[in-house]
Amino acid sequence: MPNLRDIRRKIEAVKKIGQITRAMNMVAAAKLRGAQARLEKFRPYGEKYREVIRELMSSGTVQASQFPLMEVREVRNVGLILVTADRGLCGAFNANLIKEAEKFVEERSREGQQVKFICVGRKGAQYFQKRAEVLEAYTDVMGRVLMQDARTIARRAMRAFLDGEIDEVYLIYGYFVNVVRQIPKREKLLPLSMEEGGAEEKPFEGAPIYEPSPEELLDQILPMYVNTRVFAAMLETAVSEQAARMTAMDNATRACGDMVRDLTLLFNKTRQASITKELMDIVGGAEALKKA
C-alpha cells in the first residue's frame, strides 16, 4: 500500500510542473505571434528577390558561366547548412531535423560524396560535432534571428563553395506550415541555377532596359539572394520552434492534469483503505474486550 505522504508529495510536485509547463506554453505563444508576424512580412520580400533574378536572367544576355555562384562542377564534397533550435522542450522538432540530415548524409554516402556541416543552432551542432565534419557552428543565434547572423553564415558557405572546399550547398530547416504542423524541408542553395528566380516567366511588353547591365546587377544581387535564403530558413525554423514548443507544453500541461487526477484518486482510495483498516482494528479490539 503506498504511503499517503508520498502520494501527497507527488501530487504537489506534478502540480508545480504543470504550472511551469503552462507558463512556458504562454511564453511560446507570445513569441510565436511576434516571430510569425516577421515571417509573414519577409516572405513577400524573398519572393520579390526571386522575381527580380528571374527577370534579369530572362534578358537574353546572361550566361550562367559568367557567375561563380552558378558554377556547376563534379560533386565530391557537399555542404549542408542545418538549421535547428538552440533549446529543447519542443517535442520532436529538433529530432526530426536531425533525422532528415542523417537521411541526407546516408543518401550522399551511397554516391561516394562527403557531407560537411555548417550547423546553425545548438541542438544540431551538439549532435553532429562528434559524428561528422563540422566546418562551422553558430549557436545562440536562433533566439533573435538577425540578418547580420544570416549574412555571416551565408558568407561562410559561399566562401567554401568558391574556394572549392565544397561543390554543392543544401539547406535543411523547419518549414512552418501552421501552428500544429512543422516539417523538415530540404533545399539546394548553391550553385544557383537559372530557375532560381521562380517557376514561370512573366511575359514582358517590350524589352526592359537595365542600368547598369544585368550582369553587373546580378553580381551584386546573387550574394544578397543567398543571404535572404539563409535568413528565411532561420526565420522559418524560429517560428516552427515556438509553435512546436507551444504544442508540446500544452500536451505536457494536460498530461500533468491527468496525472494529478489519477494520483488524487489513488490518494483517496489509499486513505479510505487506511480508515477502513483502522475501523476494523477498533471493532476487533472491542469484540476482544467483550469476550474477555
Question: What cell was used for 290?
Answer: 467483550
CA angle, residues 99, 100, 103, in degrees to nearest 5: 85
* Residue matched to cell numbers 546573387: 222
pTM value > 0.85: no
Q: Is 119 a catalytic residue?
A: no
- Please report the pLDDT score of residue 221 as a whole number: 85
pLDDT band for position 197 (50/70/90)? very low
pLDDT band for position 54 (50/70/90)? confident
Alpha-carbon dihedral sign for residues 40, 46, 47, 48:
positive
How far, rounded to the nearest angstrom, does the alpha carbon of residue 268 sit from its chain's CA centroid? 44
Core vs surface per residue 205-220: b (16+ CB within 10 A) or e: eeeeeeeeebeebbee
What's the whole-number mean pLDDT along residues 137-143?
A: 90
The SS3 of residue 189 is strand
The residue that leads in pLDDT, 216 or 131, is 131
Amino acid at 100: E
Structural domains of the chain ordered from first start:
38-242 (3.40.1380.10)
The SS3 of residue 1 is coil
Alpha-carbon dihedral sign for residues 196, 147, 155, 66:
positive
* Residue matched to cell numbers 534571428: 145
- Among candidate residues 35, 90, 120, 230, the one labeled active-site is 90
The span from the CA of 171 to the CA of 124, in Å, is 13
What are the strands of the beta sheet with 77-83, ordered from one edge? 133-138, 114-120, 77-83, 168-178, 181-190
Q: Quick one: which H or E segment has residue 190? A: strand 181-190
The SS3 of residue 161 is helix
